Amino acid sequence: MHISVALTSLCPLAEWACVDGTYAGLVWRDTVQSKPTEAEVTAELARLATPPIETSKLRFALELKARGLWPTVKAAIEADEDASMYWDFTDIVRSDNQMLLAMASQLNISTTEVRNIITAAIARQV
């Protein structure tokens, strides 16, 4: 995958040029947004290369409960109007949902662990 895909995802309106498709060849021209680090670009490329997975809200909640995380996650959802709306009006939980990943980060749950939870939820008998 080309660096431009990651840069467009990280900074969709930024001005930049890349002469050779590598971070070393990146010329950052944007005066508003900060240039992402090479580690951020690499992480974004890895994230984009990993297809999202999804499960039902019920399976996800049951898996969180089995891990002892449901009370904390439920409280976090209830404390955030946007998260509450997402939870109330969607039927699925996707591993690439930015709101989910932001909330997980606030709860010290990594993106990898979110995928692990969803993977386990998919396999869960309901």
pLDDT in tens, 8-47: 888 888 999 998 989 999 999 999 989 999 999 999 898 8
Contact 54, 94 (CB under 8 A): yes
**Both 58 and 118 in a single domain?**
yes
Look-up of token digits 């890349």: 18
**Both 42 and 99 in a single domain?**
no
Structural domain count, the chain: 2
116 pLDDT higher than 90: yes
**Both 43 and 74 in a single domain?**
no
Q: How far apart are CA 118 and CA 123, in angstroms?
A: 9
pTM over 0.85: no
The dihedrals phi and psi of 76, each to the nearest 5 degrees, come to: -65, -40
**Both 69 and 88 in a single domain?**
yes
* Residue 111 structure tokens: 């993106």
* Residue 3 structure tokens: 């660096």
Domain with 36 in it: 3-49
Within 10 Å of residue 72's Cβ, how many Cβ atoms?
12
- Percentage of the residues of the chain whose pLDDT score is greater than 70: 99
**Cα angle value 95/98/103 (rounded, 5°):** 90
**Both 42 and 67 in a single domain?**
no
Contact 62, 124 (CB under 8 A): yes
